């Protein structure tokens, strides 16, 4: 299978040469899809969106943007998502990807009143609790028609969505490892992350045990067009 990863981030100063968000997603997925091809499209860095026919399914990454922002790629991305749905291309959304999918498919995403949430939070997904890395302020606040909530957290009532077509999305970052999220939040401070939030986040992340293949099997099943994954978060080989 050929999976396209739509990378909507930019590289923070100090992280040049490190794995980008798209390559982190590829590494995460390869734990459950070791024989499949992953291709990163750095749209946030200026590349045009690929032709829908180029890949069998797509992952939409996180972003420093919100659905209300107006970078050059925002409206084309909405059109891309609608075209992918119409073409039957499976979709997986992560953080901003979760938000833009919901907002495009008839729901709503917006800035949340609680402010930045960075660190580790527990998400209940189809009856099972999982610790997961988080870094967000916006949230999905309206459920798209035909979608259902399959994941929640204390701070996030719409933590994961499953659609009536092959699409699934999560508010957390399953692609992050402890090392990558610590490097990124440290690089983002103090420009983007207040120091007091950084210290609390580092403490949470260092103390938590988050699976490096969290939900990778589920994402792989969605990208292959099915929903029969074992949600244990452990990749099958």
Taking only the tens place, the pLDDT of each residue in 57-109 is 999 999 999 999 999 999 999 999 999 999 999 999 999 999 999 999 999 99
Say yes or no to pLDDT of 229 above 80. Answer: no
pLDDT given at position 91 = 98
Q: How far apart, in whole angstroms, are the C-alpha atoms of residue 39 and residue 49?
A: 12
Average pLDDT over residues 34-54: 97
Q: Which of 37-51, 71-85, 179-193 has the lowest mean pLDDT?
A: 179-193
The confidence band for 185, taking pLDDT boundaries of 50, 70 and 90, is: confident
Interval 4-29: pLDDT, tens: 999 999 877 777 888 899 999 999 99
Instruction: Give the model's confidence band at 226: pLDDT under 50 very low, under 70 low, under 90 confident, else very high.
Output: low
Catalytic residues: 95, 173, 175
Give the pLDDT confidence score for residue 136 in this predicted structure. Answer: 94
Q: What is the pLDDT of residues 110-157, one digit of tens each?
A: 999 888 899 999 999 988 999 999 999 999 999 999 999 999 999 999
pLDDT at 196: 81
Three-state DSSP string of the chain = CEEEEECCCCCCCCCCCCCCHHHHHHHHHHCCCCCCEEEEECHHHCCCCCCHHHCCEEEECCCCCCCCCCCCCHHHHHHHHHHHHHCCCCEEEECHHHHHHHHHCCCEEEECCCCCEEEEEEEEECCEEEEEEEEECEEEEECCCCCEEEEEECCEEEEEEECCCCEEEECCCCCCCHHHHHHHHHHHCCCCCCHHHHHHHHHHHHHCCCCCCCCHHHHHHHHCCCCCCCCCCCCCC
- E strand or H helix that includes residue 229: none
pLDDT at 230 over 80: no
Supply the pTM of this predicted model: 0.92
pLDDT of residue 190: 67
User: Who has greater pLDDT, 42 or 19?
Assistant: 42
Does 172 score more than 90 pLDDT? yes
């Amino acid at each position: 299978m050929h999976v396209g990863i739509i990378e909507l981030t930019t590289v923070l100063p100090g992280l040049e040469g490190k794995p980008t968000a798209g390559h982190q997603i590829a590494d995460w997925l390869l734990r459950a899809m070791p024989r499949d091809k992953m291709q990163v499209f750095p749209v946030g860095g200026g590349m045009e969106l690929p032709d829908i026919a180029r890949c069998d399914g797509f992952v939409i990454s996180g972003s420093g943007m919100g659905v209300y922002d107006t970078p050059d790629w925002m409206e084309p991305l909405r059109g891309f998502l609608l075209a992918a749905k119409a073409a039957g291309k499976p979709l997986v959304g992560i953080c901003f990807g979760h938000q833009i999918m919901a907002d495009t498919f008839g729901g709503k995403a917006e800035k949340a009143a609680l402010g930045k949430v960075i660190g580790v939070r527990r998400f209940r997904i189809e009856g099972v609790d999982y610790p997961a890395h988080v870094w967000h302020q916006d949230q999905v606040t309206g459920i798209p028609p035909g979608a259902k909530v399959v994941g929640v957290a204390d701070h996030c009532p719409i933590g994961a969505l499953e659609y009536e077509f092959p699409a699934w999305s999560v508010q957390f970052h399953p692609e992050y490892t402890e090392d990558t999220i610590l490097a990124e939040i440290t690089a983002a401070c103090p420009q983007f992350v207040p120091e007091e939030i950084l210290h609390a986040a580092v403490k949470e992340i260092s103390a938590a045990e988050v699976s490096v293949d969290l939900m990778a099997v589920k994402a792989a099943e969605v990208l292959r067009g099915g929903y029969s994954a074992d949600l244990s978060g452990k990749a099958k080989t």
